[in-house]
Amino acid sequence: MVNFKKLTDKAKEQVDKRGGPDALKGDLEELKGIAKGKGSVKDKAKAAGAAIRKPGAKRDDEPGASGR
């Protein structure tokens, strides 16, 4: 039997680790951009892997990003 309480607690912990819901949405948008962008599947996979390794990372298009 599945313990849904434990499962939801683990999911919430992972979302918090990535910087919260807003950061998770930003990560999703970044991955969408990579998937729709130019390049081979191999290049897209490498870029997506690099993006996932940096949870909630500031991007240049966000306010407060380090490039500004």
**pLDDT at residue 66 in the model:** 39
| Cα 9 to chain centroid, rounded | 19
**pLDDT at residue 2 in the model:** 84
Contact yes or no for 61/33 (Cβ under 8 A): no
Radius of gyration of the chain (CA): 15
**pLDDT at residue 38 in the model:** 93
- 44 falls within a domain: yes
Contact yes or no for 49/42 (Cβ under 8 A): no
- 58 falls within a domain: no
**pLDDT at residue 1 in the model:** 82
- 14 falls within a domain: yes
- Residues of the chain with confidence (pLDDT) below 50: 60-68
Report the number of distinct structural domains present in the chain: 1
**pLDDT at residue 65 in the model:** 42
- 62 falls within a domain: no
- 59 falls within a domain: no
- 23 falls within a domain: yes
